[in-house]
Amino acid sequence: MQPLFAWHKMNKILKYFLAKDLLAPLGISLCWLIALAAAAPYGNFPLNDDWAYTKSVEYLLDHNKFFINNWPGMSLFFHVLWGTLFCKVFGFSFLTLRLSIVVMGVIGLFSAYYLFSILSKNKFYVTIAVLLLAFNPFYFSLSLTFMTDVSFTTITILAALFFIQYLKSEKTTSLWIAIFFCIISILIRQIGLLLPLAFVPVLLLKNRFTLKNFMLSLLPLVLTIAALNIYIYWLQKNQSLPPDFGKTSAIIHNLTYNFFSYLIDRLGLIVFYIIAMAIPLSLVGFPGLWRSSSRRLKILTLTAIAFLLFFIHYKFYSIPIENIVYNFGIGPKLLKDTYFGITKLPGLPKDLINFINLIILLFILPFFLKLTTRLVNIQSSLSARSIKMADLAYIAILLFVIIYSIFLIFNNSIFDRYFLPIYPFIIALVIPREKTEASIPMKVFPVIFLITMALFSIAGTSDYFSWNRARWKAVDYLMNEKKVPPSMIDGGFEFNGWYTKAKIRRSLISEYTKSWWFVEDDQYVIAFDELNSYQKIKSIPYSSFLPFNKKSILVLSRNPCSEITTIGCNAESLTKDEKYLISSDSLHYFPYSGTVSTQRKHSGRSSVLLTASAQTWIKVKLKNFEPGEKMVVSFWKYPGKSGTGIVIRSNFKDGFNYFITDDIVARNSSGWVKVKAEINIPSDFGASDMDVGIFNSGSSECWVDDFELSRLKYHKNSPQSLKETGVE
């Protein structure tokens, strides 16, 4: 009797899941979790930007106080609370924080399933649509990090789901739940404001115009803006806002002063990614739709496409933009050699990438034909005053995609992962609505596309974790086995962000100097390949599924160097005609502008006062560089926040021109700061000339003192031993 009872119980559970429409999203989520496990995402280390968010979780756990460090530019509050909740239960680790986002990813898949189910009666394509989201390389790989992309996307889907439920049922409970999720979304990223903004006109369309309905339509946006401002006020009271905290002022400035340059630069890129993300569902039903479309509609669609192709052509050869998905792999390779392009990783030939991009562009016609057809039908419904809930939902989704795209156009930066929040909504625009039976090819193509994308996502994510495990083994070798302090290691962006306290060096981002990411001293570098002036001391192999990988991570040590010459100027001595400053060793004369002043000085009796009229203090011309040279330039300035810095200009073929203002290495109690730049001369610099000077680009006066320039030569013999570097 026991087996029969068990079967009866299982049958009852199955019927319950079928009645509640839980079976399909459960099955999808289970397949997704198995695929995540197949990617072998183990290893207790940060990935991409998530070290910064992890520091906020760690601080909250240790001090019971919310704090954002200087790196994140988003609000982050709910994201940190979510991670902290899991750490309270399972203990603090990067693995625990990844688990929190995996759970958020499952919630996102369930939410997407119910959203698509409202918009489409065809369960086959609803299932395909959710699987497309699940195995999209952005959603798949970012679910295994503590990045904010998946949590923000999930909450945005939930907010949209309850907005559409409100359009369908008119129950205010659904509206309040939607508002709740909008507020949660802006407590992850400030751009959570965009979804309630998209629903304002739709809520106005839904009901006849009255003051009450007008206020109700604005309520979600007003409450979301109010919540954001309350949060910002609270954050300012408890800590100062991070310097990169997202502000609308930058976007408004770009809209006002750089409108056409940003539009031309970004519009085609964004349209291309939207078309790519609409594959393969944009093709479903296209042949019949083309045959049934009027001549006027076809002309309208083709005209819009021709207009957009101009913008796409402008950026065609720079696609793909990289961060998560690059030439043929997944995950940013944020090590010195690959980030700066010193090591050219093998990949798909550029001509093949362009050919693939051309194939993707063919889908522009079915996508925009579907779009224009639906909009023409909605316009007819509006004219007849018989608009349906599905049409209102479609308008809201399209408005959100448009508004978010405008944000991407005029935001200061753009990465491929920024497209993830609109991916489910792009799918929603092209998912077949009716339960009509599709042809075999229209079912086979999405399945083949899905399988190909899933295999790429699994293999690429597995490779991403594989080389990162090797990178952190290299870190372990240096720090634990050889006792090298983190301050002497350039272990890549995530390592230095997590371990070191050096500042970001924004004014000197170059392959010829220290990496900009929090590097104090790059005596040791972890890289994919060998670097000039460094020698390999250890190689750590790793495995990969996809081709075009290096297969090993290298630990490099900088070769010793010796001084060739050093010249300095302390602004103490002038020639008799007062046209030149005399160097500290009295062997060199320097032309200068500005005024010798005794009002302020860093050392000695005087300094040079540079006014706000773009004056140059010292200008030195250097020639006859040899391969393997290094140049170190420093000076002191007052005040520390002035726009005065080291200017370097040359006629080198690949460009070697820099202006360094913020690489501050020392301060004194009188308000003087020392700016220092260390630059490796390119191996093929040869006979190129170089001018080095101190230049005031600011709008206020500045005092400068104690200029020093050294030329050093790296030796090609064995690298410095650990003892020579001062490490016991």
Give tens-digit pLDDT for 574-605.
888 888 888 877 777 888 888 888 899 999 99
Of 265-269, 288-292, 416-420, 618-622, the range with the highest mean pLDDT is: 416-420
Give tens-digit pLDDT for 94-107.
999 999 999 999 99
How confident is the model at residue 350, as a pLDDT? 87
Statement to judge: residues 146 and 185 lie in one domain: yes
Statement to judge: residues 506 and 432 lie in one domain: no
Question: Which tokens hold the place of 670?
Answer: 């009188």
Lowest mean pLDDT among 193-202, 446-455, 460-469, 564-573: 564-573
Indicate if the pLDDT at residue 236 is higher than 50.
Answer: yes
Q: Characterize 498-522 residue by residue with b for buried, 16 or more Cβ atoms within 10 angstroms of its Cβ, and e for exposed.
A: bbbebebbebbebbbbbbbbbbbbb
Considering its fold, how many domains does the chain have in total? 3
Indicate if the pLDDT at residue 13 is higher than 60.
Answer: no
How confident is the model at residue 1, as a pLDDT? 46
3 state DSSP class of 591: strand
Among the candidates 419, 438, 457, a domain finishes at: 438
Confidence of residue 18 (pLDDT cuts 50, 70, 90): low
Statement to judge: residues 574 and 629 lie in one domain: yes
Domain presence at residue 728: no
For residue 542, which of 534, 533, 551 has the smallest C-alpha distance? 551
Statement to judge: residues 526 and 404 lie in one domain: no
Domain presence at residue 693: yes
Domain presence at residue 720: no
More confident residue, 281 or 716: 281
Domain presence at residue 450: no
3 state DSSP class of 489: strand
Question: Which tokens hold the place of 342?
Answer: 């010193």
Burial bucket for residue 562 (CB in 10 Å: 0-12, 13-18, 19+): exposed
Q: Rounded mean pLDDT of 618-630?
A: 79
Statement to judge: residues 525 and 578 lie in one domain: no
Give tens-digit pLDDT for 662-681.
788 899 999 999 999 888 88
Domain presence at residue 351: no
How confident is the model at residue 387, as a pLDDT? 80
Give tens-digit pLDDT for 253-285.
777 777 888 888 899 999 999 999 999 999 998
Range of the domain at 521: 466-535+553-560
Lowest mean pLDDT among 4-8, 84-88, 274-278: 4-8
Confidence of residue 174 (pLDDT cuts 50, 70, 90): very high
Residue 685 per-residue DSSP state: -
How confident is the model at residue 542, as a pLDDT? 95
448 in Cβ contact with 525 (< 8 Å): no
Indicate if the pLDDT at residue 520 is higher than 50.
Answer: yes
Distance between CA 459 and CA 462 in Å, rounded?
Answer: 5
Indicate if the pLDDT at residue 728 is higher than 60.
Answer: no
For residue 497, which of 64, 189, 190, 53 has the smallest C-alpha distance? 53
Strand partners, 608: 596, 704
Q: Backbone phi, then psi, for 377, in 5-degree steps?
A: -65, -40
Indicate if the pLDDT at residue 46 is higher than 80.
Answer: yes
How confident is the model at residue 234, as a pLDDT? 92
Statement to judge: residues 484 and 570 lie in one domain: no
Distance between CA 280 and CA 681 in Å, rounded?
Answer: 50
Domain presence at residue 277: yes
Tokens 């010796």, residue located:
562
Statement to judge: residues 592 and 523 lie in one domain: no
Contacts of 369 (CB under 8 A, 6+ apart): 286, 289, 290, 293, 297, 298, 301
How confident is the model at residue 555, as a pLDDT? 97
How confident is the model at residue 723, as a pLDDT? 43
Lowest mean pLDDT among 151-160, 232-241, 310-319, 503-512: 503-512
Of 148-162, 375-389, 529-543, 656-670, the range with the highest mean pLDDT is: 148-162
Domain presence at residue 354: no
More confident residue, 515 or 83: 83
How confident is the model at residue 507, as a pLDDT? 66
CATH of the domain at 568: 2.60.120.260
How confident is the model at residue 464, as a pLDDT? 96
Statement to judge: residues 174 and 225 lie in one domain: yes
Distance between CA 415 and CA 73 in Å, rounded?
Answer: 14
Statement to judge: residues 431 and 479 lie in one domain: no
Q: Rounded mean pLDDT of 400-406?
A: 96
Lowest mean pLDDT among 339-353, 364-378, 450-464: 339-353
Q: Rounded mean pLDDT of 607-634?
A: 82
Q: What is the reported pTM? A: 0.89
In what helix (H) or strand (E) does residue 491 lie, and over which residues does it extend? none
Domain presence at residue 4: no
For residue 276, which of 211, 209, 359 has the smallest C-alpha distance? 359
Statement to judge: residues 158 and 81 lie in one domain: yes
Mean pLDDT of the chain: 88
Give tens-digit pLDDT for 288-310.
899 999 999 999 999 999 999 99
620 in Cβ contact with 668 (< 8 Å): no
Q: Rounded mean pLDDT of 451-463?
A: 96
How confident is the model at residue 588, as a pLDDT? 78
Statement to judge: residues 377 and 295 lie in one domain: yes
Half-sphere exposure of 248 (CA within 13 A, CB side): 9
Among the candidates 438, 454, 478, a domain finishes at: 438
Statement to judge: residues 580 and 528 lie in one domain: no
Question: Which tokens hold the place of 53?
Answer: 């968010």
How confident is the model at residue 663, as a pLDDT? 81
Confidence of residue 721 (pLDDT cuts 50, 70, 90): very low
Indicate the Cα dihedral angle 328, 329, 334, 337, nearest 10°. Answer: -40
Could you tell me what percent of the chain has a pLDDT over 70?
A: 93
Q: Rounded mean pLDDT of 501-508?
A: 73
